[in-house]
Amino acid sequence: MKLIRASNNKFIFHLGKREKLLLVEVLKLYPRIPSGHQPLSKSHKTPDREANQGLLNEALAEQRAECKKHLRSFLADPHRFKEDQTGCRLSLSASEPEWLLQILNDIRVGSWISLGSPEPPMEIKLLNEQTAPRFWAMEMAGHFQMQLLEAMEGH
């Protein structure tokens, strides 16, 4: 994923054919962070803790649903990925890289949580049929996050 062009309102990236397929497959995994995972407070002394936690969970569920809807339209947009001989060009508006980083972060962190929140380095011997796809999702989401961050830093 390489930044080709950037202006005040648009970013154009080049992705190889396999890279595009990987990005699309990773994005389809959204959301990964389990519902109710984010506590309102670490303190158990919060007034109306359960009611307020319920409100937070409800708000987060609405946000995830809206992001998932936006992501579906993002991926279905025929002008989003324009094919060329070596892959495709991905067009993003000025606000979409940050949004995409948030989506990728949810996938990365949610995959890490599903692996049991292991401390690095994760031992390869822990990989099996169940954990390998989660590890792959975590690593690929991190890869695309770094590519976006590097492109944004240079701009």
pLDDT tens track for 21-34: 999 999 999 999 98
pTM for the whole structure: 0.87
Burial of residue 148 (number of CB atoms within 10 Å: 0-12, 13-18, 19+): buried
Share the mean pLDDT of the chain: 89
The tally of domains found in the chain comes to: 1
pLDDT tens track for 84-139: 999 999 999 999 999 999 999 999 999 999 988 887 655 556 788 988 999 999 99
Which residues, 6 or more positions from 60, have their beta carbon under 8 angstroms from its beta carbon?
A: 35, 38
Residues of the domain holding 75: 2-40+47-154
Cα separation, 14 vs 152, in Å, equals: 14
Q: How many CB atoms lie within 10 A of CB 129?
A: 6
